[in-house]
């Protein structure tokens, strides 16, 4: 089994509605996002998936989050804008793009600081 990992970042604001503490107030993060893809079979070119293709998928998704107020994005209308749900959102968006490409999306990890991360996997 081969595993690929890519990472990128974005800056955004959010607040955790109903949270009892500082995170209930509007604040921002410089989020770091890691994506892990796996698969058994390499293509004739010796690649599982071209890193550039994966990076482009992630950049496209993160461009929709960068410098935004996450709570206003429709996905977060009925759920918290927590790192956990941000990871779930990005996972779903990456999954749409790689379906049918013979690889498995293993995990999306979202770091909201250099000391704290949340991950989503199916």
67: annotated active-site residue:
yes
78: annotated active-site residue:
no
Q: Class for domain 2-120, per CATH?
A: alpha beta
* Residue 91 structure tokens: 């996972």
- pTM (2 decimals)? 0.95
pLDDT in tens, the chain (122 residues): 999 999 999 999 999 998 999 999 999 999 999 999 999 999 999 999 999 999 999 999 999 999 999 999 999 998 999 999 999 999 999 999 998 888 999 999 999 999 999 999 98
72: annotated active-site residue:
no
Catalytic residue among 24, 27, 40, 67: 67
CA distance 111 to 101: 27
CA distance 103 to 17: 36
């Amino acid at each position: 089994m081969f595993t690929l990992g890519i990472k990128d970042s974005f800056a955004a604001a959010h607040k955790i509605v109903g949270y009892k503490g500082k995170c209930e107030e509007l604040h921002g993060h410089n989020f770091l996002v890691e994506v892990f893809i796996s698969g058994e079979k390499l293509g004739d070119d010796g690649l599982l998936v071209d890193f550039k293709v994966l990076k482009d998928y992630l950049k496209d998704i993160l461009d929709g989050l960068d410098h935004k107020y996450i709570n206003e994005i429709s996905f977060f209308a009925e759920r918290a804008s927590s790192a956990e749900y941000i990871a779930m959102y990005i996972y779903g968006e990456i999954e749409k793009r790689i379906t049918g490409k013979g690889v498995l999306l293993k995990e999306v990890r979202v770091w909201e600081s250099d000391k704290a991360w949340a991950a989503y996997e199916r």
